């Protein structure tokens, strides 16, 4: 399972907190849906054996179908805690906690955190208490790391590494894929000379950096994780903030165009066929309104799930993704 993706957090002028991501994947969204998980919903944190827990909070997000437990790639809960899962190949390491409270399959981490935590402190506590299981998903290893954001304005990144789980606090709120977050943050120092005004910048996304002796490299244009991280960080840093939620969400959709993968650009060639990884959807959530916005490659209209309308649900609810193009005719 190879889920690429880019993600960043943002704040509007009137204080709305947004978390967005591209969902970059091979194939299509035929195996995906949206799901609403109610309170007191019992689910297993593992696939092969039963390890049952109950949800404490209502959650919605994008789900990969085919498992008894919802496999959320991103989502938001009723307290405005938001999270997303992104690919972390070559670095993710599991089964490093011998004294754990519960063992969780990596595909269920977003589901588990959003259904049992309401603050970033609780996410950090759980990340250090649980075991990230090496159990396979659909017969394959899933190597992932995670970003969480809420109305405090802080974004934290959770990475299951060889020496144990690392929780990065006070990050710049940007995440792509491998290597680890520390490497990406240090790499920013190579690009401090980049500015739309031609002026050297020492502060990126609210954090001060020191250059490696010179102004550094030019704006990277490739689709490697390292290139996308820099483009997202600099785009976030220089883009004018939205005035309110709708303006902010609209601007975020536009900002993600800097890392949007068109089909045919990033491919995988085998002896029998070729396949392409491309941006399947862009998903953006708001901590205050509890709204989940999305736009698909196959349906460019912006659609929305309003979690506030689902708070009294008592049963799990699956929502079909509107994949067909929806044109708004104006004459």
What whole-number distance in Å separates Cα of residue 126 and Cα of residue 321?
A: 31
What is the distance in angstroms between the CA of the first residue and the CA of the last residue of the chain?
44
Given its phi and psi angles, is residue 91 left (phi above 0), alpha (psi -120 to 50 degrees) or beta? alpha
Q: Where are the alpha helices (DSSP H) in the chain?
A: 109-116, 120-129, 181-187, 225-238, 245-255
Q: How confident is the model at residue 206 (pLDDT cuts 50, 70, 90)?
A: confident
User: From residue 43, how far is each of 1, 118, 136 by CA, in Å?
Assistant: 22, 18, 18
Please, which residues bridge with residue 146 across strands? 85, 158
Q: How confident is the model at residue 211 (pLDDT cuts 50, 70, 90)?
A: low
Q: Taking 70 as the threshold, does the pLDDT of residue 243 lie above it?
A: yes
Q: Is the pTM of this model over 0.75?
A: yes
Exposure of 203 in the CB half-sphere (CA atoms within 13 A): 2
State the DSSP code for 108.
Answer: G
Q: Taking 80 as the threshold, does the pLDDT of residue 37 lie above it?
A: yes
Q: Taking 70 as the threshold, does the pLDDT of residue 313 lie above it?
A: yes
- Domains of the chain with CATH codes: 7-319 (3.60.60.10)
Catalytic residues: 5
Q: How confident is the model at residue 269 (pLDDT cuts 50, 70, 90)?
A: low
Place of tokens 């104006």: 330
Q: How confident is the model at residue 276 (pLDDT cuts 50, 70, 90)?
A: confident
What whole-number distance in Å separates Cα of residue 231 and Cα of residue 222?
A: 10
What whole-number distance in Å separates Cα of residue 67 and Cα of residue 310?
A: 22
Contacts of 199 (CB under 8 A, 6+ apart): none
Give the number of residues written for the chain. 331
**Is 317 in a helix, a strand, or coil?**
strand
CB 27 within 8 A of CB 87: no
Return the higher-pLDDT residue of 196 and 256. 256
What whole-number distance in Å separates Cα of residue 86 and Cα of residue 6?
A: 8
What whole-number distance in Å separates Cα of residue 179 and Cα of residue 189?
A: 16
Least confident of 46-50, 125-129, 252-256, 271-275: 271-275
């Amino acid at each position: 399972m190879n889920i690429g993706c880019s993600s960043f957090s943002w704040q509007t002028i009137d204080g709305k907190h947004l978390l967005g991501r591209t969902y970059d994947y091979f194939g299509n969204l035929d195996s995906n849906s949206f799901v609403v998980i109610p309170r007191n919903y019992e689910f297993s944190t593992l696939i092969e054996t039963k390890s049952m827990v109950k949800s404490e909070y209502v959650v919605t997000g994008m789900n990969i179908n085919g498992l008894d437990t919802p496999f959320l790639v991103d989502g938001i809960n009723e307290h405005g805690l938001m999270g997303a899962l992104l690919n972390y190949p070559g670095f993710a390491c599991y089964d490093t906690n011998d004294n754990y409270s519960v063992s969780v399959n990596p595909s269920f981490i977003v589901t588990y955190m959003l259904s049992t935590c309401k603050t970033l402190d609780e996410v950090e506590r759980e990340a250090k208490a649980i075991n990230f299981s090496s159990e396979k998903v659909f017969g394959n290893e899933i190597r992932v790391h995670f970003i969480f954001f809420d109305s405090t304005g802080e974004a934290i990144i959770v990475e299951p590494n060889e020496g144990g789980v690392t929780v990065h606090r006070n990050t710049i709120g940007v995440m792509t894929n491998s290597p680890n977050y520390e490497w990406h943050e240090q790499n920013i120092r190579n690009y401090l000379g980049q500015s739309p005004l031609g002026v050297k910048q020492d502060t990126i996304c609210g954090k001060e950096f020191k250059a490696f002796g010179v102004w550094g490299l030019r704006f990277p244009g490739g689709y490697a994780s390292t290139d996308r991280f820099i483009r997202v960080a600099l785009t976030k840093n220089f883009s004018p903030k939205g005035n309110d939620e709708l303006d902010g969400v609209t601007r975020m959709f536009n900002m993600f165009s800097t890392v949007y993968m068109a089909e045919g650009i990033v491919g995988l060639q085998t002896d029998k066929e070729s396949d392409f990884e491309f941006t399947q959807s862009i998903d953006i959530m708001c901590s205050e309104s509890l709204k989940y916005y999305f736009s698909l490659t196959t349906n460019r209209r912006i659609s929305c799930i309003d979690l506030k309308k689902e708070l009294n649900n008592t049963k799990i609810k699956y929502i079909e993704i509107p994949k067909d193009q929806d044109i708004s005719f104006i004459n």
